[in-house]
Structure 1
Amino acid sequence: MNIYYSVDDFPKNVKTVVTMGTFDGVHSGHQKILSQISQIAKRKNLQSVLLTLNPHPRHVLYPEDQNLRLIDNLEEKINKLKKTNLDHLVVQKFSKQFSRIDSIHFIRDFLINKLNMCFIIVGFDHHFGKNREGTYQNLIDLSKLYGFEIREIKAHIVDQVTVSSTKIRLAIQKGDIVTANKYLSSFFSISGKIVKGKQLGTKIGFPTANISLNGEWKILPRNGVYAVIVYLKNQKHFGMLNLGVKPSFKTTSFSIEVHIFNFEGQVYNEEIKVDFVDRIRDEKKFDSIESLRKQLKKDLINSKLVMRLNI
């Protein structure tokens, strides 16, 4: 997959089938669209292109409201897209100036003149251009003028629910990891760097790696304990992760800490990726360190059961 950080960098001699959107999470509905453009590209001797915007438009247009959290940061999104059959990814910088481009000029100046578009696929209820004025009907009208083909993909349904990034974000925030993973058709994950903590876990027999997140707007599940899969130094491990403020230790600072099963060694400053498998329990304050230790032993067993590991 070739990656460009502006439509101006796209090669002039490549005829394309295009789709566009934020594709947050690259969920099962997005994957359906990507599969379609790959099939059309192969059948019509074109190359497939995803045009996505960065930062997310809401973060630019509403700077006073930065509450929107995203399933993937840009690096995570790119890594997911590399696993598809997409030929080209164009990451276009979004700005207030860019937001003022009306739908007609967007299609003519960007999709036709820059991306050499011959065919476009859009998802259900897709809007584009200034004030989201561009609609599927606009695309149909302009396709006759500029000579491109168009197809709309119907909403993707899982268990009688229309899959969307918004619904996945809500599931993650509630801690409903199983539902989020089902809609994503992959594990929800976080990535970051391991930093030095207060080593409180080591003192009670459950050493943890403290994670400093990659990505300013990364969404996180509700505080609690989760069964997780850990990727560290190109190795796969299993573990349990705590999100929260560690109330049993009378701290107030938020942290992300993962206890990796059957693991020893110094891993400070190492990059880490964590896949969330299921929620084990809420964060809880314990009366004593011994009560906490007993609960952690139960959490370990429950995490292993969830991931079907030997206890």
Structure 2
Amino acid sequence: MKIYNQLSQFQKLPHAVVTIGTFDGVHFGHQKIIRQLCERAAAQGGESVLLTFFPHPRMIIDPENQDLKMINTLAEKARMLAELGVDHLIITPFTRDFSNLSPQQYIEHILVNTIGTRHIIIGYDHRFGKDRQGSLPELQACAQTYGFTVEEIGEQDINDVAVSSTKIRNAVLEGNVSLAATYLGYPFSIEGPVVKGDKIGRTIGFPTANIFVEETYKLIPSDGIYAVTVEMDVSGPFDTGNPEAVIHIPRAAAEQAETPGAVYKGMAYIGQRPTINGMTRNIEVNIFDFEREIYGQRIRMNFLKFLRHDVKFTGLEALTLQLHADKAATLDFFRSGNL
């Protein structure tokens, strides 16, 4: 899969099969559309193109609202799309100028003249162009003129999946990571480099790896303790940060990146550590049966089950007793075959 960080990098294709959307989470419903996209491209002898946007349109249209967080970072989304078989991923900067394109301009300048669209697949409720004025009728009206065909994913087909990115975000924010995994089809995860903490966990027998999440827009689960698995050294060739580069991700490389060598069990903590009067929100994980120093290494933490809320204990002794109970509950969870 090739990644383009702006439309000007893209070279018009002779037969592009296109779908458009934010695809945050790449959940079951998204996967249904993407598989259909790739199947149509293969059947027509064309190439599949997924046009997505960053920042999320709501961040530009409603800049005062900073509450919207994304299920996936761009790199996470790219890996999953490559594994699903998408040929081209265009990450279009969503700006005020872009949002002011009329539906006609959007179809002519972007879909036809820039991408070379010959077939487009959209959801029944897809909207585009200024004030979201464009929809299926506008595409159908232009189809014959510009030589492309339109395929709609019907309301019944999408509603049968009963999944939405909003439902997933709400589940994660509530700590219901098992429900989020059901919607996504895979565990919700966060990843980042391991940074140094104050090492209090070591003094009570529960050393933790502190994870720094670089992307401020990344969704973080609610405070509490979770059963997790941890994948080591997940850094790879999926840097989407260079606006000048066209990045190529072979599908085999994407699959390899999603198939780590070692997976460890552990329990994660998210919160401000009220027992020691902490001032910042930490994301840390106690990895079971693991003693290596991994500062600077990038790890991925997959959230499997919410165990309990964050509470303030009377001191480190009471906290330590509770952590032993938390570990026992986590091990019971894994012994039940949850890995």
Band of TM-score, shorter chain: over 0.9
Residue range with higher mean Cα deviation, 238-247 or 58-67: 58-67
Deviations 1:217-270 (A, max 9, x none): 111111100111111135321111000011111223211111111111211111
Deviation at 1:87, TM superposition (A): 0.9
For 2:300 and 2:14, the matched residues in 1 are separated by 35
8 Å CA contact 2:69–2:217 kept in 1: the answer is yes
For 1:154 and 1:29, the matched residues in 2 are separated by 12
- Cα–Cα, structure 1 residues 135 and 226, in superposed 2: closer, same or farther, change >3 Å? same
Deviation at 1:161, TM superposition (A): 6.6
**Which residue is equivalent to 1:106?**
106
Q: SS of 1:140's equivalent?
A: helix
8 Å CA contact 1:225–1:242 kept in 2: the answer is yes
Alignment of 1:241 with 2:248, yes or no, is no
Alignment of 1:277 with 2:304, yes or no, is yes
8 Å CA contact 2:181–2:188 kept in 1: the answer is yes
What is the aligned residue count? 309
Alignment of 1:305 with 2:320, yes or no, is no
Deviations 1:42-100 (A, max 9, x none): 11111111001111112222222211111011111111112111111111111111111
> Which amino acid in 2 is paired with 1:93?
P
**Which residue is equivalent to 1:151?**
151
**Which residue is equivalent to 2:81?**
81
Deviations 1:276-300 (A, max 9, x none): 1111111111223222112111211
8 Å CA contact 1:73–1:214 kept in 2: the answer is no
**Which residue is equivalent to 2:291?**
264
8 Å CA contact 1:230–1:238 kept in 2: the answer is yes
**Which residue is equivalent to 1:136?**
136
Alignment of 1:1-311 (within 5 A): 1-155=1-155, 162-233=162-233, 235-308=262-335
> Which amino acid in 1 is paired with 2:320?
R
8 Å CA contact 1:277–1:307 kept in 2: the answer is no
Which structure has more relative contact order (CA 8 Å, sep 6+)? It is 2
> Which amino acid in 1 is paired with 2:9?
D
For 1:239 and 1:184, the matched residues in 2 are separated by 22
For 2:178 and 2:6, the matched residues in 1 are separated by 36
Deviations 1:177-199 (A, max 9, x none): 11111111111111111111111
> Which amino acid in 1 is paired with 2:49?
V
Q: TM-score, with normalisation over the residues of structure 2?
A: 0.87
Unaligned runs of 5+ in 2: 234-259
For 2:113 and 2:334, the matched residues in 1 are separated by 50
> Which amino acid in 2 is paired with 1:141?
A
> Which amino acid in 2 is paired with 1:300?
K
Q: SS of 2:8's equivalent?
A: helix
- Cα–Cα, structure 1 residues 254 and 278, in superposed 2: closer, same or farther, change >3 Å? same
Quick one: percent identity of the two aligned structures? 40
Deviation at 1:12, TM superposition (A): 2.8
For 2:161 and 2:84, the matched residues in 1 are separated by 24
Q: TM-score, with normalisation over the residues of structure 1?
A: 0.95
> Which amino acid in 2 is paired with 1:129?
G
Deviation at 1:39, TM superposition (A): 0.8
For 1:62 and 1:100, the matched residues in 2 are separated by 14
8 Å CA contact 1:24–1:72 kept in 2: the answer is yes
